[in-house]
Chains A and B, each alone.
Chain A
Amino acid sequence: MTADALLEVRNLTKRFAGVCAVDGVSFSVGGGRVHAIIGPNGAGKTTLFNLITGFESPTAGEVCLDGRAVTGLPPHRLAALGVGRTFQTPQICADLTALENVMLGAHLRLRRSPIAAMLRLGGIVQRDHALRDKAAELLRFVGIGSSGDVPGRGMAYGDLKRVEIARALAAEPRLLCLDEPAAGLNPRETHELDELIRRIADSGVTVMLVEHDMRLVMSLSQHIVVLNYGRKIAEGAPDEVERDAEVLSAYLGAHV
């Protein structure tokens, strides 16, 4: 157990009928760095993500945040503890504008009572105005400052991904989990994503990525965990992992 671990995963296992998607995975994530989880398709990366962010409950094992057990807590409780995430397929509310989608991210920081909302009590309207400004700023931070009023259903794929990131940032998370942020992006967009993630990490947020784009992973991360068939086969700094024989054979085939 590492003293300064923000997130610790111990022996995490998830079995679906007949398939062991995640098998006894353990690692820890220290604060303030960029971490990546990689592995061939079907290695269990997204399932692992879902286990950590509460969208699935593990068959066995533990997840600890700041030393405190959070195993099996639902996503909304984890969000309250500072965990944010984006999704492989952008989950944007089509009926809300980009701005409103981002404002959604700050949900836990606002007064959520429906009665107060209906009667406009307790400064709820003023805070919404302030939030609108902050949301606009976040949209600028992720690079789409001018798209505030576009409804979710009218946005391009790359912009949707940015809105998701802005939304996650609106919650002021301590740990930001990005699920394949580069999927479907062209090289220029991927480069912009690289810069964006650096800006996020510089601002003090710990970032954990699941990614297929090796260049992005190697360029950004300080710490990598490699999965194959649900098991962790390697862990360490990029240059260590790059040279690991088991990793190479997992990606390139049995005989290297």
Chain B
Amino acid sequence: MPAEFLQFLFSGLTVGATYALAALGFAIVYNASNVINFAQGEFLMLGGMLAVFLLEIGLPAWIALPAAILLVAAVGVAVERLAIRPARGAEVVTLVIITLGVSLVLRGAVQMWRGTATHALPPFSGDAPIMVAGAALAPQSLWVIGVAAAAVALMWWFFERTRWGKAMLASASNRLAARLVGIRIEVVLMLSFALSAALGALGGIIVAPITLTSFDVGIMLGLKGFVAAVLGGLGSGIGAVAGGLLLGVLEAMTAGYVSSSYKDAVPFVVILLLLMFLPRGMFGAQAPERV
């Protein structure tokens, strides 16, 4: 029994780490621009697909993977400049449609480029399972959790300890004030998209050896990342990460103990119940309407 439980826990944390990175990306962009970027999931997809391609054309892994991340970050910047910036000030619903349109463009482009086949990335350090207390742990899982943790720590350091990070947080809470002290909002916006794209790509890459990648993995990953971000209070980085991990574990437990065909429904059931009974998420808060 305990071994089985540990097994589910590990696989839950693994996939949860990916959701956490996606959720963190959502939170960073939302904080900087109040936009929910529905194309976030496609950054995860692009990371995996580009990494596969770069390896295929012969680049060594230690060049291919970072290159893929940088390329996707560049795509993120392009998205911000070409699709988000021109629509600055539009209504929420309009921006939702725009980001949905962007996700269609990205997904469609990859579909044209690579078709609908699934691709695999080789595991980073082989696939001989490590036995821990009777549970089989894939080495890639350790990579996923470890790299994700490192990325989150890096983000924490960036936002709490560097000037640019603090500038980004400042412009999130009061854009006008931030402008007045000389923070360039345009750069903040670009940076936020670049960061969230890079985080997404990283998430997509590290989990691709386990879950395989194809042109349409972005939809579900993005939606679940969105759920995780809302679960954590949308705008709270810690909340996003916690939300992602929690969702991953809940999903794995449901798949193992309840029903594997409904495991994908878990994030949505959780968020629906939570929003109906606890409208403010786990960590965040919504300001009440002032009369």
Contact = CB atoms under 8 A, between A and B. Distances in A.
Interface in A38-87: 46, 50, 55, 87
B291 interface: yes
Contacts of A87: 291
Interface in B214-241: none
A88 B290 CA distance: 11
Nearest to A49: B291
Contacts of A46: 291
A46 B291 CA distance: 9
Question: In terms of DSSP, what is the predominant structure of the interface of chain A?
Answer: loop
Contacts of A55: 291
A51 B272 CA distance: 33
Nearest to B288: A56
A78 to B, nearest CB: 14
Contacts of B291: 46, 50, 55, 87-88
Interface in B277-291: 291
Question: In terms of DSSP, what is the predominant structure of the interface of chain B?
Answer: loop
Nearest to A47: B291
Contacts of A88: 291
A19 to B, nearest CB: 15
A87 B291 CA distance: 8
Nearest to A46: B291
Nearest to A53: B291
Interface in A77-106: 87-88
A82 B194 CA distance: 56
Nearest to B291: A55
A49 to B, nearest CB: 9
A87 B290 CA distance: 11
A88 B291 CA distance: 8
A54 to B, nearest CB: 11
Interface in B144-168: none
A9 to B, nearest CB: 19
Interface string B40-81: 000000000000000000000000000000000000000000
A72 B114 CA distance: 62
A50 B291 CA distance: 8
B287 to A, nearest CB: 13
Interface in B254-291: 291
A139 B291 CA distance: 25
Nearest to A75: B291
A55 B291 CA distance: 8
Contacts of A50: 291
B145 to A, nearest CB: 39
Interface string B170-203: 0000000000000000000000000000000000
Nearest to B289: A55
Nearest to A179: B291
A27 to B, nearest CB: 22
Nearest to B290: A89
A120 to B, nearest CB: 31
A248 to B, nearest CB: 31
A21 to B, nearest CB: 13
Nearest to A91: B291
B121 to A, nearest CB: 51
A126 B291 CA distance: 35
Nearest to A50: B291
A68 B179 CA distance: 53
A254 to B, nearest CB: 31
A153 to B, nearest CB: 15
B285 to A, nearest CB: 12
Nearest to A55: B291
A223 to B, nearest CB: 25
A50 B289 CA distance: 13
A46 B290 CA distance: 11
A41 B79 CA distance: 47
A35 B291 CA distance: 22
B290 to A, nearest CB: 9
5 contacts: A46-B291, A50-B291, A55-B291, A87-B291, A88-B291
Interface of A: 46, 50, 55, 87-88
5 nearest A-B residue pairs (beta carbon): A55-B291, A50-B291, A87-B291, A46-B291, A88-B291
